[in-house]
Amino acid sequence: MDALSFGLTYALPAFGAAIGVGLIGAAALNALGRNPEKVSDIRTMMITAIVFADSLAIIGIIVAFIAKA
């Protein structure tokens, strides 16, 4: 049961972060299609948003290790 709870404690935030990164990428491609001359601005904002989304997965694994101990 401990392995299941550890797996779910990390898997759910990682799944949410993966969905978020996918949505961020889709929105960035849509924005680039509408305004191709703003490539550098859109890329910078996209990378920043992906970093924030991935921080949720990092927080999830930290919480999983704390809850396991």
Q: What is the mean pLDDT of residues 59-69?
A: 85
Position with higher pLDDT, 68 vs 37: 37
What DSSP string describes 35-67?
A: -GGGHHHHHHHHHHHHHHHHHHHHHHHHHHHHH
Tell me if 15 is assigned to some domain. Answer: yes
Tell me if 4 is assigned to some domain. Answer: no
Domain containing 63 equals 9-68
Q: What is the mean pLDDT of residues 5-21?
A: 89
What SS3 state is found at 18? Answer: helix
Q: Give yes or no for a contact between 21 and 54, defined as CB atoms under 8 angstroms apart.
A: yes
The predicted pLDDT at position 9 comes to 84
The predicted pLDDT at position 7 comes to 83
Q: What is the mean pLDDT of residues 5-23?
A: 90
Tell me if 59 is assigned to some domain. Answer: yes
Tell me if 37 is assigned to some domain. Answer: yes
Given pLDDT bands bounded at 50, 70 and 90, which one contains residue 2? confident
